[in-house]
Amino acid sequence: MRNQFRRFVGCIALSLSCIMIASALSLASLPPARAEETTTIIYTSPFTAAIAQVRDSVVGVSNYQKVSYGGYGGYGGGYYFGWGYGDRGSSQEPEIREELASTGSGVVIGEGFILTNYHVVEDADTLKVTVTDDAGETIEYPATLAAWNENLDAAILYAPDCPLPPVTLGDSDTLLVGDWAICIGNPLGFAKTTTVGVISALGRGIESETYDRYGRRETITNTMIQTDAAINSGNSGGGMFSVTGELMGIPTLKYTGSYYTGGSVEGIGMCIPINAVKPMINSVLSGEVPLTPPEEEPQEPAPAAADLLGRPRLGVSIANVNSSSRAARLKQIPDGVFITAVDAGSPAEKAGLLPGDIIVDIDGTVITDVEQLTAIVGQHEAGDVLRIKVYRAEGLLDLKANQDAPDGEYFDVEVTLEIIQSDTGLVSNE
């Protein structure tokens, strides 16, 4: 029995030995082991391609305005404000210089056409588009104002020598909260600065106060895109792009704090949706808007009041708007000429003008005082048709100097001039 057990154990040991030898022979026949292979994955920014596509189409916009230095009663080198502490007896004429008043940004949207904010170009005597290359070299191109919408705070410049390619306009109605927002502009003069954030909100109703071309204050509400991409001074008029490089909006303003609470805020910027500006863009790029203003015909001097008897008239009594009244001081009413009375059967009555109306425009010329209106009418003949814009609000004729003016509206009339026999001078009876 014991011998059988020993034989069994010996067989097992022999089997194990054979297995070990076979395994060793198998391993010996394998090729030498190689080092473990690794794969390196490089992660790139989702913005790189879009930025490279559009950044060279973002330009600077320079607003130059005329400034008066020195002169009568000035500081002899400072800004001319009239009587000052300087050479009060000097009769030297002030020196007029054109200086850089402000800068902003713009985006090329067509061959020579640049989209920007209206407040960037407002009151400019000269406009220039600045292009900065990667080496920091800057070239300026002269530009003119091709179209603008003051209420929307948008403008289009025409710089025919600017060689940059236009960007692709996107569809801002397709934006969703959380989409990427790439803002490119020239904050503080740092050309082609890029900031990135997300769309924080859509359809923000932003109120702002402005003045129409006739001097009346009005509150405008624009629907804007909110983003947390950094928008700083000088970014205005630049571009807000999608990750596909399409222009989706115009960076316009940022909030830094609350006037009422005094609290400061970060990351609240507003952009004009590109779809809101497309009608103006299309009208310019399609050639509907002339790129140069028509040449004005030389105007003859207005005849003296004594020579105006028998000349064509409107048939109204007029006066300047009382600039010291509450309504005028608060800009509740426009500047212009106030109609105090309308003659029966006159051209003005036939056209529908009423006492209390304020004449603000004649044939595209803004009217600010009686003398100007008298001169314009005096240059026409009987039968000429004047396109007159008036502002009308109920109760203006009876408004007291310390009262607020009610809201009114503008409307246009056409007045055919006639000769009205009267001995009254035109200054009080037009």
Annotated catalytic residues are 119, 153, 236
Dihedral sign (CA 101, 106, 112, 113): negative
Query: Which residue's entry shows tokens 């314009």?
Result: 376
Q: Give the up-direction half-sphere exposure of residue 163: CA atoms within 13 A in the CB hemisphere.
A: 3
Using a 10 angstrom Cβ sphere, with 0-12 exposed, 13-18 middle and 19 or more buried, the burial of residue 21 is exposed
Q: Which of 322, 298, 291, 339 has its CA nearest to residue 144? A: 291
Give CA–CA dist 136/263, Å, rounded: 38
Contact criterion met (CB below 8 Å) for 170 and 273: no
Look up residue 190 and give its two tokens.
């740092």
CA angle 71, 73, 76 (to 5 degrees): 50
Contact criterion met (CB below 8 Å) for 142 and 112: no
Query: Which residue's entry shows tokens 């790439």?
Result: 182
Give CA–CA dist 39/346, Å, rounded: 92
- 3 state SS of 281: helix
Contact criterion met (CB below 8 Å) for 164 and 56: yes
Query: Which residue's entry shows tokens 């003008």?
Result: 353
Give CA–CA dist 218/210, Å, rounded: 6
Residues 6+ apart with CB under 8 A from 127: 61, 62, 63, 64, 121, 142, 143, 144, 145, 157
Distance of CA 248 to the CA centre of its chain: 15
Q: Give the up-direction half-sphere exposure of residue 296: CA atoms within 13 A in the CB hemisphere.
A: 6
Q: What are phi and psi of 355, to 5 degrees?
A: -60, 135
